[in-house]
Structure 1
Amino acid sequence: MQVRDAVEADAERLAELTGRPRDVMRNLVHDRTVRVGVDDDTIAGFVSFDAERRTVYITQLEGDPEACERLLEEPVRFARGESMAVELLLPEHDDSRRNAAETYGFESDGSGPRFEGTPTVRYRLAS
């Protein structure tokens, strides 16, 4: 899988992966750092993140387990280069993305906020 920066033309596929409107995904590409994982000319997943103060916040992670593992390398590499922590919120019972996060040493840091009624868990990777 190759990883590249997302471009506005990717918004349609990002919308398919998330079930969110294309306009929302287009705004995401403009407002966040977004990397897409491409297999055979098809976007297999993506990660979006922001850096604020001393933490990199992963705002979205989508794709199959292998894509998620590879895509997590992007914000983790950035954070390590800047000596920053990384934080990720995942739905409470999302085993595949949790396993991908734990591969990089993320640890549960307690409950996160609810999104659309779904409880989340906060994962953190220290700097």
Structure 2
Amino acid sequence: MDVRDAVEADASALATLGDAPQESLRNAIHDRTVRVAEEPSAGTDGEGSEDGEDEESTTITGFVGFDARDGTVYVTQFGGSRAACELLLEEPVRFAEHEGMDVEVVVTATDETMRAAVEAVGFEKKGSGPMFDGERTVRYRLKPEPGS
């Protein structure tokens, strides 16, 4: 699985993965740090075309958006497969380690897959988060070890 910066053309795929409006994700790509995980699509061989260009297509399997303010890195949006989310959550954690900040993420209380991904990366439950679209959320926080 490869990780790269998101581009505007990714907004539709991210909206599907994150169950969010495409315009919201397009704005996030412009306003925040957004990274995507992608894998080769089924049926590609990666051998390239006759002109030597690699025509391997990829499928986005997850994304994470984050920003930093007031001494904390906030994961603002993420979604996709659990494996992709675990890999992608390492992005804001690395940023926080480098800047000496904590990381915070809020997950819908009923989303066991995303809660498991957050906990697998090392986040600890810190109580209830705000209501989001009428659903309870759980607030998680991680204080990265300097230089880890």
TM-score of Structure 1 vs Structure 2, range by shorter chain: over 0.9
- Quick one: structure 1 residues 19 and 102, their matched pair in 2 at CA, closer, same or farther if it must change by over 3 Å? closer
Cα deviation per residue 1:58-100 (whole Å; 9 max; x = unaligned)?
A: 0111011111111111001110111100000001122211121
More strand by share: 1
Aligned ranges 1:55-94 → 2 under 5 Å? 55-94=72-111
- Residue 47 of structure 1 corresponds to 64
Structure 1 unmatched runs, 5+: none
Q: TM-score, normalised by structure 2?
A: 0.82
Q: Compare CA radii of gyration and give the structure with the larger one.
A: 2
| Contact 2:18/2:77 (8 A) holds in 1 | no
Query: Which of 133, 136, 147 is equivalent to 1:116?
Result: 133
Count of residues in Structure 1 that have an aligned counterpart in Structure 2: 127
- Residue 10 of structure 2 corresponds to 10
Aligned ranges 1:3-42 → 2 under 5 Å? 3-40=3-40, 41-42=58-59
DSSP-derived class of the 1:114 partner: coil
Q: Percent identity?
A: 57
Q: TM-score, normalised by structure 1?
A: 0.95
Structure 2 unmatched runs, 5+: 41-57
Instruction: Write the distance in 1 (CA, Å) between the matches of 2:16 and 2:117.
Output: 21
Output the aligned Cα RMSD: 1.0
